[in-house]
């Protein structure tokens, strides 16, 4: 007889405020993060990931940024896949609410500080 254990994990949701680090904690296996921020067309921003840790250690986490008008899988406008830290600079193509999908993948857990800043 085969047996398995399934665990359902709800997403962690949060709103990013410019210049304010957000402590993202994806503490359950299979859990992802859905972060949002508002932006204006032509605005230049930097998404920074710092102090990232995963369990098991050394795994990467995928952060994909989606524009307001299209959140389909594979249609992200930018991404960053750091092991401990990383950043991506964005020029927003339209005004509205953007989504950032954070996925540790492979059954990992993760935590990181996520900050959205205006780019010079």
Phi and psi torsions of 66, nearest 5°: -115, 140
- Per-residue pLDDT band at 7 (split at 50, 70, 90): low
Residue 88 forms part of a structural domain: yes
Residue 2 forms part of a structural domain: no
Residue 101 forms part of a structural domain: yes
Question: Does residue 66 sit in helix, strand or coil?
Answer: strand
Range of the domain at 109: 12-118
User: Given this model, what pLDDT does residue 115 score?
Assistant: 98
Q: Kindly list the distances between the CA atom of residue 28 and the CA atoms of 45, 85, 104, in Å, as whole numbers in the listed order.
A: 30, 21, 10
* Angstrom distance (rounded) from CA 30 to CA 78: 22
- Residue pLDDT, tens place only, 15-47: 999 999 999 999 999 899 999 999 999 999 999
Task: Please count the structural domains in the chain.
Answer: 1
Residue 54 forms part of a structural domain: yes
User: Given this model, what pLDDT does residue 5 score?
Assistant: 72
Residue 4 forms part of a structural domain: no
Residue 6 forms part of a structural domain: no
- Residue pLDDT, tens place only, 58-110: 999 999 999 999 877 778 889 999 989 999 999 999 999 999 999 998 889 99
Residue 77 forms part of a structural domain: yes
Residue 57 forms part of a structural domain: yes
Residue 4 has pLDDT above 80, yes or no: no
* Angstrom distance (rounded) from CA 75 to CA 30: 22
Tell me the CATH number at 51: 2.60.120.380
């Amino acid at each position: 007889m085969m047996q398995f254990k399934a665990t359902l994990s709800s997403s962690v949701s949060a709103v990013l405020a410019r210049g304010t680090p957000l402590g993202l904690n994806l503490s359950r296996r299979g859990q992802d993060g859905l972060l949002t921020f508002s932006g204006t067309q032509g605005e230049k921003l930097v998404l920074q990931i710092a102090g990232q840790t995963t369990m098991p250690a050394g795994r990467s986490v995928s952060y994909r940024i989606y524009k307001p008008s299209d959140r389909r899988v594979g249609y992200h406008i930018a991404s960053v896949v750091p092991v401990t830290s990383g950043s991506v600079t964005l020029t927003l193509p339209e005004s509205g609410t953007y989504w950032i999908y954070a996925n540790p993948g492979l059954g990992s857990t993760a935590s990181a500080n996520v900050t959205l800043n205006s780019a010079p």
